[in-house]
Structure 1
Amino acid sequence: MKRHIAFFGAPFWGHVNPTLAVLADLVSRGHRVTYVTTEEFSEAVTAAGVDVVRYESTWPAARSAPSQVSADEMAGGPLKYLVENVAATGAEPAFDGDVPDVVVYDTLMHFAARALAHKWQRPAVQLIPLFASNEHFSVAQQLADEFPALDPQHPALIEFGTKLAEFRASYGMGEASPADFFGTVEDLNLVFLTKEYQPAAETFDERYAFVGAGLADPRTRGAWTPPEGDAPVLLIALGTLFNERPEFYRLCVEAFADQPWHVVLATGRHVDPSDLGPLPPNIEAHQHVPQLAVLEHAAAFVTHAGARSTMEALHFGVPMVTVPQSVELEMAGRRTAELGLGVRIGRDEVTAERLREAVLKVTQDAAIRRNVEEMRRATREAGGAGRAADEIEAYLRRALDA
């Protein structure tokens, strides 16, 4: 039976992009999908064939995140996420008389989505585009020592607790539990990683489906053709949130200007390639590149260690040099190095020489090549968007036909 499926996406490209192929797959199976998102992502989501319900985000569009945050900023984080979630509930009137059969939500939108699922008495599915947490493994606890110590009596945390209680009460929900702060576990949780990449993977039960990379349809990826010659291709990109780093890009130009590589450098929307000065003939720089198309030809990838970029690289069997640009990304950078899939360089330790040495190592080390190839197979066998759609359909049959 065809169903109406509501998606609540977090307003970040790294969270939206993995869902696009899932949306297209569900639509191709005859389901009707409504996606709640902001103006910035509406065009991409509409292209997947779904109906879009827009809400006004409380966060500035096209922002670039800092590499470090203060204790005050950390304390204010939960409240900012709650306020964004409350804004997303403004989409509720669009579902009047047209309540979805299931609510599928990004893990960062769980306040809004779970409240509406509770009100509508509908099952919910969680989408996790990064490391998953459960009763045995907590990403928040793993990162706790990396962040500034927080005062539990900080005014922002007190205000968050008060507003969360008020929000939950307005939807007839009970008192918040620790899970509402550190990771809800639904009966179905779709994780856009391979299980082999997930820490403590053996502790995750059948409620978690590790579907690997949510790759875009090849017809929508954009095209890129390597230049003539046999120079290996090196892709350098820092994702969509951590790319306002002109000094890093200049180091990359210095590192590979006279090297036998063809370098594709993606600077992001905040840095104009012309600001990097004259580029040598073996380096091309653009604010945006079709990442999947370049990775298909790449021999190595210098990356910020974002989960989506990592899975895309592994899908194509590309070893990585990770330069994590935030505390959260450090966890992925360390995991990539721990599994022997690449080399990590701390963001404060980057030099032109270290970049050259790391790229040489990941392309010539036999163990790294072997590990990357094994993970490439695992990533492709995880099932991707098709597996995610299968899991949602199976869950709907269990939840609604019971």
Structure 2
Amino acid sequence: MATILIAAGMTPGHINPALKFARALQSQGHRIHFCGFLDARERIVAEGFDFEPLFPDLFPEGDLEEVTSLRVRRDRWGQLRHIRRHVGRVRRMMEAILAGALDGLFQRLKPDLFICDVIERALHLVAYGNGVPTVLVNTTVPMAPQPRPPKPSWRAPMDRVWGAFRASLRRTLEKTGARLGFIRPMTWFFSELARKYGHIVEGDGPGRFFPSATPMVVLCPGEFIDTGDAPRRESLHFLGPCIALDREEPDFDWSRIQEGRPLILIALGSVPYLLKRHQDFIRGLGDAAARRPDWQFVVSAGPLTDLGMLERAAPNIIAAHQVPQLGLLQRATAMVTHCGFNSTKEAIYFGVPMVALPFQHDQPRVARLVTHHGLGVRGSPFDMTGETLVALLDEVITQPGYRQASQAMSMRFREAESPQAMARTLEQFLEKEQEPLPRPSGT
């Protein structure tokens, strides 16, 4: 039996998958501890796990809810005040971490393995400095290095000079970060943290703060990530999709769903509703619904939408601020999605073809994988009309290849969701001696 410490972030998209593999490890007899900010405590403790709060004086419970409330109310001055307060908290947290505030956690628990979400990237350097083997968890698809086109030969000397200047400027900023008036740059913080815990920083980009040998797990089968364009990294491993099938879902009037009619689920995530173009898209759904009166459109509209106005646009629209996505996917004919990784995995799990409308961040990368595997089609949410949306839906509904590909990938997702398989994947890192970090000379 091993002691395993997990840092999983604060939001449901990070906590729910961590709870899934934590239960799988616990079922094999391992002792599980979580650590994180107080906003994550309630959900984790409710599942019966121990929770170690990090910097509770700086980040009190309810902080995340306050940010969401300010955004929903579009309270600009409130957001600015919160940002100013948050900047000061982050600065004090960085100073405390550099002073060794987290060393006691690892020395007291003495974990045999640290499973760290990539968004908590400072913690893995502390863990390595305390001799604790670490596995990074990526809750989205990993970024593949993009090949750079060859440059004209006459550019090479200029590029070398410019590159040396940028590297010198970065080093100067990092060294003088303590004297900058606003807040020390994050690169300065990670450079200092890496130096404190013995990691030699090489190269550019955020990846230079991750030891190259650190294993990383991705929360889906490898078949979904692999496109054949590049060989898979040796340090990359795959768990099941870690879908929280037992999560509590919002109330819903199921009597409004009519059996025998195609059901189109439209759910664009919990963040895009803050974008004006998302609201424009939602308001234009009436035209799409009117073009297919025999279909049912169930819309997860977000907290800013006038539900009555949306439903009055067409009699076959059912709108709610939040919908029970898992329950609806089990009945859906197709899903219109922003291609957030969690929503995409849930559609695949239930074999539902997708119309992918990526807005931002990792969503375009996920959408490319959806179309690569024939699981759906892709459009732009920024110039979508009722006519073009219906055309995309017609394609994924009438062409059987999309549902067949979705059902085939669904079978692979369900096989990979085995708790025993997840536990075995993570337990292998208990059995291996990870390479120690190289320490600078003279330390």
Q: If the TM-score is normalised by the length of the shorter chain, which range does it land in?
A: 0.7 to 0.9
Write the distance in 2 (CA, Å) between the matches of 1:156 and 1:290.
52
Displacement after TM superposition at 1:123 (Å): 0.6
User: Does the CA-based 8 Å contact 1:193-1:307 persist in structure 2?
Assistant: no
Displacement after TM superposition at 1:281 (Å): 4.3
Displacement after TM superposition at 1:128 (Å): 1.3
SS class of match (2:222): coil
Counterpart pick for 1:323 among 339, 357, 371: 357
Change (3 A) 1:382 1:17: same
Counterpart pick for 1:314 among 330, 348, 351: 348
SS class of match (1:131): coil
Displacement after TM superposition at 1:87 (Å): 8.8
Change (3 A) 1:300 1:97: same
- Matched residue, 1:103: 114
SS class of match (2:41): helix
User: Does the CA-based 8 Å contact 1:85-1:109 persist in structure 2?
Assistant: no
Letter in 2 for 1:230: G
Displacement after TM superposition at 1:370 (Å): 2.2
- Matched residue, 1:379: 413
User: Does the CA-based 8 Å contact 1:190-1:388 persist in structure 2?
Assistant: no
Write the distance in 2 (CA, Å) between the matches of 1:379 and 1:6.
26
SS class of match (2:429): helix
Counterpart pick for 1:168 among 189, 194, 211: 194
Write the distance in 2 (CA, Å) between the matches of 1:219 and 1:321.
25
- Would you say 1:353 and 2:387 are equivalent positions? yes
- Would you say 1:131 and 2:164 are equivalent positions? no
- Would you say 1:250 and 2:283 are equivalent positions? yes
SS class of match (1:5): strand
- Matched residue, 1:147: none
Give aligned-pair identity as a percent.
25
Counterpart pick for 1:117 among 122, 127, 134: 127
Change (3 A) 1:380 1:41: same
Residues 278-287 or 340-349, more deviating: 278-287
Cα deviations by residue, 1:131-162 (Å, 9 ceiling, x for unpaired): 225xxx427989xxxxxxx9956899863433
- Matched residue, 2:75: none
User: Does the CA-based 8 Å contact 2:7-2:116 persist in structure 1?
Assistant: yes
Residues 276-285 or 54-63, more deviating: 54-63
Unaligned runs of 5+ in 1: 66-78, 143-149
Write the distance in 2 (CA, Å) between the matches of 1:380 and 1:356.
30
- Would you say 1:204 and 2:232 are equivalent positions? yes
Cα deviations by residue, 1:167-191 (Å, 9 ceiling, x for unpaired): 2233343335547526655553211
Displacement after TM superposition at 1:84 (Å): 11
- Matched residue, 1:240: 270
Displacement after TM superposition at 1:23 (Å): 1.9
User: What is the TM-score when the length of structure 1 is the normalising length?
Assistant: 0.79
Letter in 2 for 1:106: D
User: Does the CA-based 8 Å contact 1:32-1:50 persist in structure 2?
Assistant: no
Write the distance in 2 (CA, Å) between the matches of 1:161 and 1:86.
12
SS class of match (2:109): coil
Unaligned runs of 5+ in 2: 73-86, 150-162, 175-184, 435-443
SS class of match (1:35): strand
Write the distance in 1 (CA, Å) between the matches of 2:263 and 2:131.
51
User: Does the CA-based 8 Å contact 2:33-2:51 persist in structure 1?
Assistant: yes
- Matched residue, 2:242: 214
Write the distance in 2 (CA, Å) between the matches of 1:322 and 1:92.
44
Residues 211-220 or 222-231, more deviating: 222-231
SS class of match (2:323): coil
Letter in 2 for 1:391: T
User: Does the CA-based 8 Å contact 2:353-2:402 persist in structure 1?
Assistant: yes
User: Does the CA-based 8 Å contact 1:126-1:186 persist in structure 2?
Assistant: no
Change (3 A) 1:95 1:269: farther
| Larger Cα-atom Rg | 2
SS class of match (1:122): coil
SS class of match (1:263): strand
User: Does the CA-based 8 Å contact 2:141-2:362 persist in structure 1?
Assistant: no
Displacement after TM superposition at 1:313 (Å): 0.7
User: Does the CA-based 8 Å contact 1:129-1:193 persist in structure 2?
Assistant: no
- Would you say 1:369 and 2:369 are equivalent positions? no
How many residues of Structure 1 are paired with residues of Structure 2 in the alignment? 374
Letter in 1 for 2:232: F
SS class of match (1:20): helix
User: Does the CA-based 8 Å contact 1:132-1:139 persist in structure 2?
Assistant: no
User: Does the CA-based 8 Å contact 2:267-2:299 persist in structure 1?
Assistant: yes
User: What is the TM-score when the length of structure 2 is the normalising length?
Assistant: 0.72
Displacement after TM superposition at 1:32 (Å): 2.3
Displacement after TM superposition at 1:20 (Å): 2.3
Following superposition of structure 1 onto structure 2, how do residues 1-400 of structure 1 map, counting pairs within 5 Å? 1=1, 3-55=2-54, 56=58, 61-62=67-68, 86=94, 93-110=104-121, 112-133=122-143, 137-138=144-145, 152=166, 159-178=185-204, 180-181=206-207, 185-200=212-227, 203-204=231-232, 207-218=235-246, 220=248, 225=254, 227-244=257-274, 245-257=278-290, 259-271=293-305, 273-274=307-308, 276=310, 278=312, 280-383=314-417, 385-399=419-433
Write the distance in 2 (CA, Å) between the matches of 1:241 and 1:228.
30
- Matched residue, 2:77: none
- Matched residue, 2:80: none
Displacement after TM superposition at 1:275 (Å): 6.6
Displacement after TM superposition at 1:396 (Å): 1.1
